[in-house]
């Protein structure tokens, strides 16, 4: 009987001269999702195995923008406008949505 760790792994078959042997494969990378609204992120590498992900360059793995690979464009736009409102003095930090406050602080750090 296969061990508990072997039961979870993806399996495949490889034909050799003597017999058809069972082999285990590594996990695939899942599609990344937005940390705020759980939408699928675009421009992020997925599907390939771990060694392939290590070989490709950093810019091929995710887009190089503010909070890219973490937040989707809609959430990013909302949060940046909230940061600008707080910066201009229209809104207080305590009036903003508590779920986005951490991302607002991160964007403030990147801008300054």
Q: Which of 37, 40, 48, 93 binds Zn ion (CB under 5 A)?
A: 37
Can you tell me the distance from the alpha carbon of 87 to that of 111, in angstroms, rounded to the nearest whole number? 11
Segment lying near Zn ion (by CB under 5 A), choices 6-14, 42-50, 52-60, 72-80: 72-80
- Contact between 66 and Zn ion by CB under 5 A: the answer reads no
Segment lying near Zn ion (by CB under 5 A), choices 15-23, 24-32, 68-76, 100-108: 68-76
Q: For 51-111, list the strands marked E by DSSP.
A: none
Can you tell me the distance from the alpha carbon of 43 to that of 63, in angstroms, rounded to the nearest whole number? 6
Question: What residues contact 101, with CB distance under 8 A and at least 6 apart?
Answer: 93
Residues near Zn ion, by CB under 5 A: 34, 36-37, 39, 72, 75
């Amino acid at each position: 009987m296969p061990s508990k760790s072997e039961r979870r792994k993806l399996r495949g078959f490889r034909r050799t001269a003597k017999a058809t042997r069972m082999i285990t494969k590594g996990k695939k990378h899942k599609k990344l999702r937005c940390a705020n609204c759980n939408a699928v992120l675009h421009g992020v590498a997925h599907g390939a195995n771990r060694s392939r992900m290590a070989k490709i360059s950093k810019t091929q793995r995710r887009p190089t923008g503010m909070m890219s690979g973490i937040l989707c464009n809609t959430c990013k736009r909302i949060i940046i406008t909230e940061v600008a409102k707080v910066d201009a003095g229209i809104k207080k930090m305590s009036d903003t949505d508590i779920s986005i406050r951490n991302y607002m602080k991160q964007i403030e750090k990147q801008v300054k």
